[in-house]
Amino acid sequence: MAADVLTEFCKEMGISNLTEIKEFSILANKHHDGMVRPLHAEEYLFDFMLDDGSIFFSLRRLMWRNPLSYNSDLYVEFHYQQLLADYLGGRLMLAPAAGGSSSVQQIAELSALQHLAQGQRDQLSLPEMKEYLPSQPGLSSTAEDIHSFCLGQIAAMHSLSPQDAKIQFIEILSTMPLFGSNTFLAQKVSQRGCPSPCMVSISQEGVLFLHPKTQERAFLIPLADVQSMRTIRPKKQGKVPAVDINYSNPGRIKTVTVHLRQAKELCHTLALIMEELIRPSVSSSISNRQ
């Protein structure tokens, strides 16, 4: 079962605490279309494998309730790579500074730490530094300022080992507003007031809908209010699938429809988190409309 394989992976990282192991999930990934499907603990990996080798498996931390312990080099590397991908992809955005924009100094520090994490000690050019910048609006206009601060940070942290640079990078990202969230970009959300496109973030808090550029909150469904979910296949070729999220509201059940390419991944990610935090029977509330 997936739970057994997951336990072995976690032991390699020095994790033996069952509650922390449950915060991870094995993901089945399809090469040709990029579809991702988190596996539930009782499912078997062999049920997802195909003879043509088009399925590969990866590991992701879905929940972050237990404190990070940095038990081994593999533990540090795993968490660094996952958070680095989220940061560079714009899924972890710095909190706005006093002037309403992200801190140039903090982005410069994170860029310097990425440089040092690779074992680099040399100064880097502006084009090279841009590879360390997140996909975030407005950064291109401040790139030269970030570069200037970054050079100073590299000089100040010159003696930092790659391992310590990765840990420091993780610690800074752990203070970001969406740290610990599983974030998706939806083309459209049926809830009034939600922007299009819309960022959808799933965490222990619930299902959070945000503006994709500012990450300003538009709507929240608390985790305890979610009643059931179902994926909906697109009616026309070229359209994206969707997820119906049924949630309780004083007096009646309401539904929010989220249109996005990763509909199945969102649906099962939400179910896995709810299985652990809310009620074990939630997996039976997932269905697919043909």
**Chain centroid, CA 127 distance in Å:** 27
How high is the pLDDT of residue 218?
95
Convert the pLDDT of each residue in 133-176 to its tens digit: 998 877 888 899 999 999 999 999 989 999 999 999 999 999 99
Tokens of 262: 């990763």
- 10 Å CB burial of residue 91 (0-12, 13-18, 19+) is buried
| Averaged pLDDT score across all residues of the chain | 88
Together in a domain, 54 and 77 = no
pLDDT at 282: 43
Specify whether the CB–CB gap between 267 and 231 falls below 8 A: yes
Q: What percent of the chain has pLDDT over 70?
A: 92
Q: Are residues 34 and 127 in the same domain?
A: no
Residue 174 sits in the same domain as residue 71:
yes
Minimum mean pLDDT range among 20-29, 95-104, 175-184, 280-289: 280-289
pLDDT digit string (tens) for 227-258?
999 999 998 888 999 999 999 976 789 999 99
Same domain, 87 and 160: yes
Helix (H) or strand (E) holding 244: strand 242-249
Q: Are strands 206-210 and 242-249 parallel, antiparallel or unpaired?
A: unpaired
Domain count for the chain: 3
Q: How confident is the model at residue 41, as a pLDDT?
A: 86
Per-residue model confidence (pLDDT) at position 97: 54
Look at residues 179, 211, 243 and tell me which one is the last residue of a structural domain: 179
Structural domain containing residue 86: 67-179
Paired strand residues for 222: 206
Instruction: Look at residue 214 in the predicted model and tell me its pLDDT.
Output: 82
Q: Are residues 28 and 95 in the same domain?
A: no
**pLDDT tens digits for 90-112?**
888 776 554 444 588 999 999 99
- Do residues 45 and 75 both lie within one domain? no
254 with 277, same domain: the answer is yes
Q: What is the pLDDT of residue 196?
A: 93
Given 46, 61, 76, which residue is the final one in a domain? 61
Decide: residue 253, CB within 10 A, 0-12 exposed, 13-18 middle, 19+ buried.
exposed
Residue where a domain terminates, one of 121, 146, 179: 179
Pair 71, 171 in one domain: yes
Q: Is residue 16 located within the same domain as residue 50?
A: yes
What pLDDT does residue 92 have?
A: 87
pLDDT > 70? residue 289: no
Task: Looking at the structure, tell me whether residues 79 and 139 fall in a common domain.
Answer: yes
Q: Is the pLDDT at 288 greater than 70, yes or no?
A: no
Residue 134 belongs to domain with CATH number: 1.20.80.10
Whether residue 169 sits in one domain with residue 73:
yes
Confidence of residue 219 (pLDDT cuts 50, 70, 90): very high
Query: Is residue 284's pLDDT more than 80?
Result: no
Q: Do residue 238 and residue 251 come from a single domain?
A: yes
What pLDDT was estimated at residue 99?
Answer: 44
pLDDT at residue 25 is higher than 60: yes
